[in-house]
Amino acid sequence: SAVISQKPSRDICQRGTSLTIQCQVDSQVTMMFWYRQQPGQSLTLIATANQGSEATYESGFVIDKFPISRPNLTFSTLTVSNMSPEDSSIYLCSVVTSGSITDTQYFGPGTRLTVL
Amino acid sequence: GQQLNQSPQSMFIQEGEDVSMNCTSSSIFNTWLWYKQDPGEGPVLLIALYKAGELTSNGRLTAQFGITRKDSFLNISASIPSDVGIYFCAVTGGTSYGKLTFGQGTILTVHP
């Protein structure tokens, strides 16, 4: 299993500013992902965080808006840049530990972001 | 893109009742997953299904991977108050391993 912590747990930000969210895992993991959950909605994959290289973004998400770093096998950051109220969401880090197709995907508790 | 249709959107039941929810898709998937999300938490995996026709139980929960690989259902028997939460189906498969697509969720309320 994997225990995931995220910082901050919540924040209220002004439009036009940026926020960096941290994801820390208690063990080395194969894959790390970032998801967004808009209010009352389901989860949508933003990107796959690749260790030592640029993240792989899903359609509708771009690096300039959501820069991601993954310096090692246990840590990743997601930055929400130039925020607007539409960015108000829960941002969740997710990991897969071993890469087996039957491996469980674990989720962090999320970071609840409100943009005013 | 890939879309899952999950129903019902919400359910209000009495403690002790059984619950059923399902997901359908127009595409074939290799893996169907069911997650539960409590308020303020990330989703937690309840059941994973890897084989068409597979029926898997986890305590009072039972889920099935449809034979066509385009649908799945989740049943909860003898519901209790702590079953309250949002239940999501999710899929992954093929070259998109590890990337989950989620259904819209079913909000479950259990009245004591």
Residue A2 binned pLDDT confidence (cut-offs 50, 70, 90): confident
Over pLDDT 90: what percentage of chain A? Answer: 84
Q: Does B107 touch chain A (CB under 8 A)?
A: no
Give the C-alpha separation, B71 to A69, whole Å: 36
Chain B residues near residue A35 by CB distance under 8 angstroms: 100
Give the C-alpha separation, A67 to A20, whole Å: 9
User: Which one of B37, B44, B107 makes the best mutation probe of the A interface by having the most chain A beta carbons within 10 Å?
Assistant: B37
Over 80: is that where the pLDDT of A99 sits?
A: no
Question: Tens of pLDDT along A30-63?
Answer: 899 999 999 989 999 999 999 988 999 999 999 9
User: Which one of B99, B101, B104, B106 makes the best mutation probe of the A interface by having the most chain A beta carbons within 10 Å?
Assistant: B99
Chain A: give the shortest CA distance to residue B29, in Å: 13
> Contact A76/A96 with Cβ under 8 angstroms?
no
**Which pLDDT score, from 0 to 100, does residue A77 have?**
98
**Which pLDDT score, from 0 to 100, does residue A101 have?**
67
Give the C-alpha separation, B11 to A61, whole Å: 33
Over 70: is that where the pLDDT of B96 sits?
A: no
**Which pLDDT score, from 0 to 100, does residue B92 have?**
83
Chain B: give the shortest CA distance to residue A18, in Å: 23
Q: Taking the CA of residue B72 as centre, how many other CA atoms within 13 Å lie in the half-sphere pointing to its CB?
A: 32
Kindly determine whether residue A42 and residue B48, on different chains, have CB atoms separated by under 8 Å: no
Kindly determine whether residue B98 and residue A96, on different chains, have CB atoms separated by under 8 Å: yes
Q: Cα(first)–Cα(last) distance of chain B, in Å?
A: 40
Tokens 């998937």 identify what position?
Answer: B29
Local structure of B14: helix, strand or coil: strand
Chain A: give the shortest CA distance to residue B112, in Å: 24
Kindly determine whether residue B31 and residue A104, on different chains, have CB atoms separated by under 8 Å: no
**Which pLDDT score, from 0 to 100, does residue B93 have?**
63
Q: What angle do CA A23, A28, A33 make, to 5 degrees?
A: 45
In angstroms, the Cα distances linking A101 to A13, B54, B70, B71, B99 are 38, 16, 19, 19, 11
Chain A: give the shortest CA distance to residue B72, in Å: 17
Over 70: is that where the pLDDT of B97 sits?
A: no
Question: Tens of pLDDT along B7-63?
Answer: 999 999 999 999 999 999 999 988 999 999 998 899 999 999 999 999 999 999 999
Kindly determine whether residue A44 and residue B102, on different chains, have CB atoms separated by under 8 Å: yes
Q: Cα(first)–Cα(last) distance of chain A, in Å?
A: 37
Q: What is the mean pLDDT of chain A?
A: 94
Report the range of poorest mean pLDDT among A66-75, A78-87, A94-103: A94-103
**Which pLDDT score, from 0 to 100, does residue B1 have?**
55
Select the more confidently predicted residue: B94 or A91.
A91
Give the C-alpha separation, B82 to B13, whole Å: 13
